[in-house]
A and B are shown apart, each in its own frame.
Chain A
Amino acid sequence: MPINYYIFLSVTLFCIGVTGVLTRRNAIIIFMCIELMLNAVNLLLIAFSKMHHLALAAVDANAGINAQIFVFFIMVVAAAEVSVGLAIIVMMYRNTHSVDVNFLNRLKH
């Protein structure tokens, strides 16, 4: 598969995630759109790792394995991030009885 296809697929998914963050006001859906952007980047990293592997397979049999390890660590960090982020959303719901991010404008006043 040409790498172009993967680049455009990842860019499209990333921009859908950006659009979701900009348009929605439900904090949980904003968080889910951030996960969508993370996954778009992961997909692009793995496509590039396979591209690199094909280009350098004759020199180094393990070329490109670093990107897959990197994606693994991104998943680790994302799991930790989700647990803390959802705890923050639960705390926000307990204080304001809503998950609408527009209620969080007290710093403005």
Chain B
Amino acid sequence: MSTTQILFWFLSILAIFSAIMVVASKNPIHSVLWLIAVFFAISGHYILLNAQFLAIVNLIVYAGAIMVLFLFVIMLMNLNADTEPQKNKWLKIAGVIAGGALLLVFVAALKNADLKSQIAQVNKGDIGLISNLGFALFHDYVAPFEISSVLFLSAMIGAVVIGKKE
């Protein structure tokens, strides 16, 4: 078993365990911290796939900015105690069964797919490097890049308008 395979399995198990803990933990602060662990594991996968730019962007945008925003909102609402009221147990079991059934459907549909010969290239290939991605972004995708700034502006105005006290 090569180092790449060991890293793949380690990161996969870390991601799945942390994702389960996101759903299972009672305290919202713990959920946020476990979600940061999931994002670190997924960034590790990106580095394994040699998509280094997206790994760093994932860390900065998701684990850095978005999760701090979540922590900030939880702190502002003083939700760090377990404030979720007692709920219907059957509803929870039904949710778990529905999610498991969806997983079962996906696995059953993909189990016999003819993908055995398809290999995802790891450790090699330079399409994920910042020079190539930057060239493609500012050469072929300039218009979407500029339009995304309008999207950010509208999101900012929307957040201010929604959050404003009337």
- Contact between chains at B121 and A19 (CB < 8 Å): no
Docked complex: B105-121 residues within 8 A CB-CB of A: 106-107, 110, 113, 115-116, 118-121
- B115 x A73 contact (CB < 8 A): no
**Are B38's CB and A4's CB within 8 A?**
no
Name the distance in Å between A2's Cβ and chain B's nearest Cβ: 6
- Chain A residue numbers with a CB within 8 Å of B35 are 32, 35-36
- Interface size of B by CB at 8 A reads 85
Chain A residues within an 8 Å CB radius of B65: 79
* In contact, A80 and B119 (Cβ under 8 angstroms): no
A62 and B132 contacting across the interface, CB-CB below 8 Å: yes
**A26–B38 CA distance with the chains assembled, in angstroms:** 20
**Nearest residue in A to B125 (C-beta to C-beta)?**
A53
Closest B residue to A66 by beta carbon equals B136
Q: Are B46 and A46 within 8 A (Cβ)? A: yes
- Whether A69 pairs with B42 at a CB distance below 8 angstroms is no
A82 touches B115 (CB 8 A): no
**CB <8 Å contact, B119 and A1:** yes
Are A99 and B77 within 8 A (Cβ)?
yes
**Which A residues are in CB contact (< 8 Å) with B127?**
49-50, 53, 62-65, 68
Tell whether, in the assembled complex, residue A51 and residue B38 are in contact, meaning their CB atoms are under 8 Å apart: no
Which residues of chain A (76-91) have a CB below 8 Å from chain B? 76-84, 86-91
Residues of A within 8 A of B148 (CB): 73, 76-77
Q: Which of B23-53 contact A (CB under 8 A)?
A: 23, 28, 31-32, 35, 38-39, 42, 45-46, 48-51, 53
Also in contact, A83 and B125, with CB within 8 A (given A23-B91, A28-B28, A32-B35): no
- B156 partner residues in chain A, CB cutoff 8 A: 83
Q: Can you list 22 pairs linking A and B with CB atoms under 8 Å apart?
A: A1-B119, A2-B119, A3-B119, A3-B120, A8-B107, A8-B110, A9-B16, A11-B107, A13-B15, A13-B38, A16-B22, A19-B100, A22-B94, A26-B79, A36-B19, A42-B58, A53-B127, A75-B58, A78-B66, A80-B151, A90-B162, A91-B163
- Residues of chain B at the chain A interface (Cβ within 8 Å): 4-5, 8, 12, 15-16, 19-20, 22-23, 28, 31-32, 35, 38-39, 42, 45-46, 48-51, 53-54, 57-58, 61-62, 65-66, 69-70, 73-74, 76-77, 79, 83-85, 87, 91-92, 94-96, 98-100, 102-103, 106-107, 110, 113, 115-116, 118-122, 125, 127-128, 132-133, 136-137, 140-141, 144, 148, 151-152, 154-156, 158-160, 162-163, 165
